[in-house]
Structure 1
Amino acid sequence: MSTLSGAEPRPAGAPRIIGIVWGLLVLNTLGSAGAKTIVPLPRSLIQMVTMGALVAAFTLALAVNLRLRIRPSAYVLLLTLLLVSSIISSAHLESGFGALFRCFRLTLFVGTLWLLTRWWNGGLTFVRHHIRMYFAVLGSVAAGLAVSPGAALPDLYGGRLVGALWPLTPPQIGQYAAVIIGLTVLLLLGRRTDKKSAAVIIVPSLVLLALTHTRTATLGLIVGLVLAIGSLLLTSAAARRFFSWTVVLAAVAAVGFASALQSWFLRGQSQENFSSLTGRAKVWDALLSAPRSTSEQLFGVGLGDKSFGGLPIDNSWLAVYNEQGLIGVTLVAVIIVVLGGVALLRPPSLQRACAIFLISYCAMASYTEAGLGDASPYLLHLALAASLLALPAEATVLSTPDVPRLAMPELPRQRVPRWARRSEAT
């Protein structure tokens, strides 16, 4: 399909194995906790698979980049500083030896990104790898829904779609669906794919997103696309037409399907439960009111499972504050600001629009989802944005060295006779 292959050339010298490396990074960030699957999978087995995928990704990236050729990247440099801060906070073992293991995992993740920076040149190659891999993940979700609808739509999650073959939660599925929908729409507007191929990606992903009832992913998709398409309005007629039609259709849907949209958005929750963000606010208040030493405020308690008091934090900023302290929060904020600032300074282009979509989506999701402080899909989305904002490597121009000229004696001027000058004149 042209959505996945397209005519976009691969970066100069980029081997095909780079796509495998990116896919292994995606597999590593799927996580090991989630819904019950049709065939019970031990958590230790899932962790072995995900961790093995990360080790394999680092090994393959190192194999194709043995000379350790890397490109400067402010994003990966900031991630490296966040890694150092995480190691300092985890060395106290307040979160147990699991914190050191998570630091080792983050080290391999950041190291793999450093090795991949060699092929970050502002092209769309990694966008296609991203779409391929997450569409394959969504394919497993769809297969689980077809095989066992009861396991894929369990009552434990209120009938929301989960992964029945691989333990994926509704927010995870919604995130993957929203990201590849947004990227595919932008590829379509940029004429890097055809309508048929785009529909193959967008339509099933929209169905799965609707079945997850994930508000964060839906709002992130809408806001991200509005900002991304808005950056193309002055240079793309297709973007202007799409934006106009979207506004019209949104107005019609808001009037004709207001009650249905409201019921879908509330998911049967009471007003009190909705206002407390499904109980998240109680965990946040408890985390902020807990006493902390100066060291814990600055560096946190070390990398953990993004929970407090046995309950998930579900907020990237508070999770980073708890585990990596104010220093970690500052570094994560600088990451978002730097990527957003670079995107705004770039001239309008499809690559810039894709980067704006990814950055804005991650910023939106950070309020109700954790993951900006550890190896996660959100850091992978931002890595993709960083690759899109990277400037193409300048071609080396081979210049011929200056060769000293031999000094030649000047010949005396010969005097031309008058009759010769008259003949030339005639």
Structure 2
Amino acid sequence: MAGYLRRRGLPGGADPAGPHPGAEPRPPGPPKTVGIVWGLLVLNTLGSAGAKTIVPLPRSLMQMVTMGALAAAFALALALNLRLRIRASAFVFLLTLLLVPSVISSAILESGFGAMFRCARLSLFVGTLWLLSRWWDGSLTFVRHHIRLYFAVIGSAAAGLVVSPGAAMPELYGGRLVGALWPLTPPQIGQYAAVIIGLTVLLLLGRRTTGTSAAVIIVPTLILLALTHTRTATVGLLAGLVLAIGSLLLTSGPARRFFAWTVVCAAVAAVGFASAVQAWFLRGQSKEHFSSLTGRAKVWDALLAEPRTTAERLFGVGLGDKSFGGLPIDNSWLAVYLEQGLVGLALVASIIVVLGGVALLRPPSLPRACAIFLISYCAISSYTEAGLGDASPYLLHLALAASLLAAPATAAPLPAPAAPRRRLPRRPRERR
């Protein structure tokens, strides 16, 4: 990670060459402690359930670590922003409104006291984002934090693979890569790897990092993504990059060249490696099992056929563990419908629509391309992954997109220095 993502012009900070004559003054960049807050949010959203680790970790201990990280993130963000200066954000405002159906449905305790606990967690998560919004200025500062932190997370999965290959690729998960040091599932590792690769590629095209630094990140991350055999992350990465690079085609020569080479390589791979790609996507499953989305469709049909009262349709049954009948739902929209009802479903849809609409209205730029990648990736992954209605990595990705789409902040102009008073020459005294 040494020398990673070398800055050119220090986006969001001071110009190393000094202020330009006539240029508008910029506010100081966010303090380094903000990166620690973002890292604590990442730790909170890792979860505490997944594969068996090399050293067995009690789930209660992992929950204490993740919840303690969220409490520490909120306290640290509050200490950094004691005056409660926040920036208007439609994204965080809609998340705040999402708390309403969550609390209404969870207060009935149909899902147990765990639902109220999850509501408190979501409240702290949203409150921390409000406090951090002060430093959302459309710069790439949070993108760099995002890449470094998630690279460290999947680095733990790579370390587990080196220490114990059998525990890192167990037969229980079909030989797919899991977290052997921290209980990470293959879809989690695939998601983090896809986001890291996509953002790093965009920084490389925007000439905000060197080719060597980008290769240090992309090459090992791409290998880990292949070992997870995660189809959703792969499709989301490719589709997100196509949309993001497409937004740069008119203004970036490297983006046009990269897009052209990608099309050529994709055509060659489709012709020469079609059987290998098909085998990788099938993961040894039958075509019938693949068409039913690995059994997800049966859970979805049963969830939709479940009878509900009017209150449950509107507000849901309360925040839960994103499962139905003991099986994971693996669909953000159906999970939100079950737990937060039609009201929550409308708010989550509004979040995606508002962020997408703002991204389309912004002029072409690298931050806009990164935001388009994140929004499109989360929208595609929401079909087979849950998390848009609760504190999760997906909401953290969308929060990063919101920070990239925020209007740049400008510092108040300094008052012009007062002109020095001209001292009048003393007149000689007349002699009497």
Give the TM-score category using the shorter length.
over 0.9
Q: Is 2:40–2:72's contact at 8 Å kept on the other side of the alignment?
A: yes
Query: What percentage of aligned pairs have identical amino acids?
Result: 82
Which 4+ runs in 1 deviate beyond 3 A?
Answer: 1-5, 397-401
**1-side partners of 2:73 and 2:101: how far apart?**
24
State the distance in 2 between where 1:77 and 1:15 align. 24
Residue 48 (str. 1) matches residue 64 (str. 2) = yes
The 5 A counterparts of 1:328-347 are 328-347=344-363
After superposing the two structures, state which structure 1 stretch, 248-257 or 296-305, moved more.
248-257
CA distance in structure 2 between the partners assigned to 1:149 and 1:51 by the alignment: 30
Output aligned runs, 1:38-117, within 5 Å. 38-117=54-133
* 1:421 aligned residue: none
| Residue pairs, 1:287-302, within 5 angstroms | 287-302=303-318
**Is residue 6 of structure 1 aligned with residue 7 of structure 2?**
yes
Whichever residue aligns with residue 351 of structure 2, its letter is: I
Pair 1:357 & 2:358 matched: no
Aligned residues: 401
2:193–2:222 Cα contact (<8 Å) kept: yes
Mapped contact 2:101–2:316 kept (Cα < 8 A)? no
Q: Which residue of structure 2 lines up, in the alignment, with residue 243 of structure 1?
A: 259
Q: Which amino acid aligns with 1:335?
A: I
Is the contact between residue 344 and residue 389 of structure 2 (CA under 8 Å) also seen in structure 1? yes
Q: Aligned-pair RMSD on alpha carbons?
A: 1.2
Residue of structure 2 in register with 1:156 after alignment: 172
Q: Does the Cα contact within 8 Å between 2:6 and 2:210 map onto a contact in 1?
A: no
Greater Cα radius of gyration, structure 1 or 2:
1
Q: Report the alpha carbon displacement of residue 398 of structure 1 after superposing the two structures with TM.
A: 5.1
Deviations 1:371-412 (A, max 9, x none): 0000000000000000000001133235679xxxxxxxxxxx
* Structure 2 gap ranges (5+): 14-27, 418-432
Counterpart CA distance in 2 for 1:229 and 1:90 is 42
The TM-score normalised by the length of structure 2 is 0.91
Q: How does 1:242-321 map to 2 (within 5 A)?
A: 242-321=258-337
Instruction: Indicate the residue corresponding to 1:408 in structure 2.
Output: none
Q: How far apart, CA to CA, are the structure 1 residues paired with 2:287 and 2:264?
A: 30
Q: 2:384 aligns to what SS in structure 1? A: coil
Q: Which moved more, 1:150-159 or 1:10-19?
A: 10-19
- Given that 2:86 and 2:130 are in contact with CA atoms closer than 8 Å, whether structure 1 keeps it comes out as yes
Render the CA deviation track for 1:45-91: whole Å, top value 9, x for unaligned: 11010001000100110001000000000000000000122111111
Counterpart of 1:211?
Answer: 227
- Give TM-score scaled by structure 1 length: 0.93
Alpha-carbon distance in 1 for matches of 2:34, 2:245? 29
Residue 4 of structure 1, CA deviation: 3.9
How far does residue 10 in structure 1 lie from its aligned partner after superposition? Answer: 4.7
Name the amino acid aligned to 1:73. Answer: S
| CA deviation profile, 1:184-208 (whole Å, cap 9, x unmatched) | 0000000000000000000000000
Unaligned segments of structure 1, at least 5 residues: 402-426
Tell me the residue number matched to 1:18: 34
Aligned to 2:157: 141
Partner in structure 2 of residue 176 of structure 1: 192
Q: In structure 2, how many angstroms separate the alpha carbons of the residues matched to 1:122 and 1:13?
A: 11
Q: What is the alpha-carbon distance in structure 2 between the residues aligned to residue 368 and residue 391 of structure 1?
A: 33
